[in-house]
Chain A
Amino acid sequence: MSRKRAAVLGTGIASVLVAGGMVFAPAASAEAQDSAYALAADGIIDITPVPHVVGSGKDHLIAADLPGTGKAVLHAGVFNAYADKGKASASTAELKLELPGVPVIEANLIRASCEDLEGTTSIADLRIGDQQISLDQIKPNTNLVPAALEGIASITLNKQDSNGDGSLTVTALEVNVLKKAPVVNDLLGQSIDLSSATCGKGDGKGDDGGDHCDHGKGDHDGDNGHHGDRDRHGDKGHHHGDCGGDNGGDDNGDDDGDNGDNGGDDNGDGNGGDDNGDDGNGDGGDQADENGNAPAPTPRPGHLDVTG
C-alpha cells in the first residue's frame, strides 16, 4: 500500500481534535504530496493516521487514549504533524504505549522529519519496561529488540521507505508485535507507527529559521492566519516549532533542550555539568545542585495555550 495518504478515513477512530487546532489545505498539485502523521496502526487495533496533514498545513492533537473505544492502548501528551512543500514532520510527545502482554513502551518525544528526500528521527527518553534505551544518531532502519521485548515484539527506528512515486517515508518508531508472541491473538502481527513523515523533493526554498511565525490573536495555533499581518503563506519554509530559533527538528538530540540558541541551556545546566541531571529519575531538573540551589530548568517539549 502506498504510503501516500489522502484524506483521513477509517472506522473506529476516536481521536478528538482540539478546538482550533485543526486546519490544513492540501496543496493544489498533481504531484506527490508531502504528508505526515503522528500515529497509525495496522492490524486488529486499527487507528487511522492521526493527526494527519496532507500537502500543506499543520495539525495537532492532544489526546489521552487511542483508540477511544474499548481498551485504551496509547497515551500521549501531544501529537503534531506538519507538512509543506518538500518537507514534513511529525512528533509525538509524552508517549506511553500499553499493549496487553507487552512491556510498556514510553518515550518523551518521538519525532520524524523528512525534507527534500532526506529523513531523520529523534527519540528522547525511550523506556521499554524498566529499561532505559539510550539512542544516539539513529541510523536509518535500525532494528531493536530490547531484552524486555524478546519473543514479543521488535522495534524499528528511523524506518525509511522509498515509495514508488519517488517520495520518501520516514517513520520514527514502529513497534511490530511478533506473529508468535505470547499475547492475545488480536495483537499478533500488530504494528504501530509513531511519527511518520513523507516528503518529496523540495523546491529549494530555504528555511529562514522562523521569521515568518504564525500567530493569531485569539486563536492559539495561528494556523488559520486570519489576522492579517501573518498568514499561512509565511509558513513556507518554516518548521513548526522553531520560530525564532533553530529548533529544526531534524537532528537527534534536540530532545534534551540542547537547542542552545533558543536560549535554553544545554544539558547539564544547574546539575553539576553532567548530562541532563537525571540520576535515576529520568527527568532532570528535580534536584537542588550541590550548593543547595534550585536547578536551572531544562525546557521540555510540551504545549500549553497561554494567553499570548
Chain B
Amino acid sequence: MERTESSSSRPAGSAVRRGGLFAPRRLLATTAAALLLLASGCGGDGGGQPSAAGAENHAALPEATTYGDIDNAPKDSDPNAPTDGEVLHPKRELVVHDAANGSPIARLPVKQISSPTWVPVIQREGDWAQILLPSRPNGSTGWINTAGDAVESAKNQYVVNVDLESFNLEILKDGEQIGQWTVGIGEPAYPTPPGRAFIIASIEETVNDYSPIVLPLSAHSESHTTFGGGPGTVGIHTWPDQSFVGKANSDGCIRVTKEALDELVKVPLGTIVNIT
C-alpha cells in the first residue's frame, strides 16, 4: 500500500513556487533559485488563448511577486487615472505579457506571500487586461489573458488615497469617503514613493512585532533596495506608539493608527492605493 504523492492537489501547494519567501539571496538548497532567472521574452505568444504558465519556455520567467524585479514591464502611463474597480485573481499561474498579444515577461502566481493574488485592472482590450504588478520597479504593469477560466473577476468598490504632504489617508467606497486618518510616512531619506500602488496581501505577522497585521503594497522603496530580510516592500501597518502620527519618520512604510488599520484590513486585496 505504498503511495507516493509528490505534489499536492492544491494549486499553490508547492513551496518552491510560492515565490515570496524564496528570493535568491537566501541560501537555500532548492530549485527555487532557478525560478528567478530572468529570461527575455520567448517570442510572441499570440492568439487569444490564455497562456498557462506550465509551458516549458515560460518556467524561467521571473515571478511577479514582491520579490520580483521585472525590468521590461511596461510602465503605468497614467497613474492618476481612475479605474473601474475590476480586480482579478489568477486561478492558475498565468503568463504576464508586455502588451495585449505581446511577449511574455513574467509569471503571475496564485498567491502573494500567504494571500491569494488579486491585482487591479487598469485597462482592458477584449480578453486582455492590463494589471498593476506587485514587483519592482514601481509602476510596473503587465497584460494577462483572461479568456476561459483563467481568472476570477470581481468588482472592488474601495480606493485608498494617501496625501503625503498632509499626512492624510482616506478610504473611499464607491467614491464616498468612509474614513480618513493622519498617518506617518517615510522620512526624507527614505520617502514613501508616490504613484499608484495596490494592496498585495494581508499578513498576520508571525515574526515582526510592530503590527499584528501588515498590508504590503506593490510599491517598493526607491532608497532601500532591501530592508531587513525583505526586498524593500512598502507596507501599511500600525506602530506600537503614536510617534509616527503626522510625521515623516518611517523607512518608507505608511504607518497608521490602530483605528485606521481596523478599517484598512477590510478592504479587498488589489485595492488601489494612490500615493501623491
Contact = CB atoms under 8 A, between A and B. Distances in A.
B5 A220 contact: no
Nearest to B9: A130
Contact of A293 (B26, B116, B155, B234): B155
Contacts of B247: none
A75 B16 contact: yes
9 contacts: A64-B21, A104-B5, A127-B8, A130-B9, A263-B212, A264-B204, A270-B268, A295-B154, A306-B230
Given A106-B8, A299-B202, A307 B212 contact: no
A240 interface: yes
Contact of B209 (A215, A269, A299): A215
Nearest to B23: A62
B210 A243 contact: yes
B75 interface: no
Given A221-B228, A222-B208, A307-B221, A77 B270 contact: no
A296 B268 contact: yes
Interface of A: 14, 16, 18-21, 60, 62-65, 68-69, 72, 75-78, 80, 91, 93-94, 96, 98, 100-101, 103-104, 106, 108, 127, 129-130, 148, 150-152, 182-183, 210-215, 217-222, 230, 238, 240-245, 247, 257, 259, 262-265, 269-270, 281-283, 285-289, 292-308
B119 to A, nearest CB: 11
Given A244-B211, A305-B208, A305-B229, A287 B15 contact: no
Contact of B201 (A221, A244, A263, A302): A302
A210 B5 contact: no
Contact of B206 (A218, A292, A302): A302
B211 A302 contact: no
A240 B209 contact: yes
Contacts of A282: 10
A291 B91 CA distance: 19
Contact of A94 (B2, B18, B157, B212): B18
A128 to B, nearest CB: 10
Nearest to B237: A306
B1 interface: yes
The secondary-structure label for the interface of chain A is loop
Contacts of B124: none
Given A230-B240, A299-B265, A182 B2 contact: yes
Nearest to B32: A64
Contact of A306 (B6, B26, B214): B214
A270 B156 CA distance: 12
Nearest to A239: B209
B125 interface: no
Given A77-B21, A286-B152, A72 B30 contact: yes
B36 interface: no
Contact of A298 (B32, B202, B262, B263): B202
